[in-house]
Amino acid sequence: MKNIFPLLIFFSSIINAQEWLTPVIEGYGKIKFSKDIAVQPENNLEYKLVYKITTTDLREGVNKGLNSIAHTINMLGCADISKDKVQIVASISGPATSIVLTDKAYKEMYKSNNPNSKIINLLSQYGVKLFVCSQATSYKNIEHSQINSNIISALSGASVLANYQLNGFAFMP
């Protein structure tokens, strides 16, 4: 019986030694994927998701909410869910509003380039619609010219969330 325990640890470490993957949104939203785990994405479903991004927390060096979207896209990609079955929208507001700034505007405010510019570009190329609350940009005195060209100004973050949820999008907190 003593000899079995080391073998169990060895096989457990092999199973858990999967590599981190970013197959669709390269470099962001890393996942460990296995087809042998329950509750896999289903190919017969349409993935209509709406995210609310208000946090300034970081994950993998970028906004946690943006990284979460990349994580979802990578997970769906590993499960062979085609891009045409995925519609993702995000509402950016509150403390997170500054993530929408161009590098130039971000540098003027924070003395560095916007760490979110690349992931915003990659998500937009995939087809993610990123909206910023114009109420929040007004409160923060952010001019339209200071907003990344991949970001769409919406009347409010709440209108984005309400409209998309009422049109069948699942809310992703």
- CATH code assigned at 23: 3.40.1260.10
State residue 16's pLDDT score.
Answer: 54
pTM of the model: 0.89
If pLDDT is split at 50, 70 and 90, which confidence band does 173 have? confident
Residue 57 φ/ψ, nearest 5 degrees: -60, 145
Query: Is the pLDDT assigned to residue 67 strictly greater than 80?
Result: yes
**Residue among 22, 69, 32 at smallest CA distance from 47:** 69
Domain span at 164: 4-36+43-172
Residues in the chain: 173
Query: Is the pLDDT assigned to residue 9 strictly greater than 60?
Result: no
Query: Is the pLDDT assigned to residue 7 strictly greater than 90?
Result: no
Query: Is the pLDDT assigned to residue 5 strictly greater than 80?
Result: no
Structural domains in the chain (count): 1
Query: Is the pLDDT assigned to residue 63 strictly greater than 90?
Result: yes
Distance between CA atoms of 80 and 137, rounded to whole angstroms? Answer: 37
**Tens digits of per-residue pLDDT, 79-135?**
999 999 999 999 999 999 999 999 999 999 999 999 999 999 999 999 999 999 999
What is the β-pairing status of strands 62-63 and 86-92?
Answer: unpaired
Query: Is the pLDDT assigned to residue 54 strictly greater than 70?
Result: yes
Contact 64, 57 (CB under 8 A): yes
Distance between CA atoms of 53 and 172, rounded to whole angstroms? Answer: 10
State residue 4's pLDDT score.
Answer: 53
Average pLDDT over residues 4-24: 63
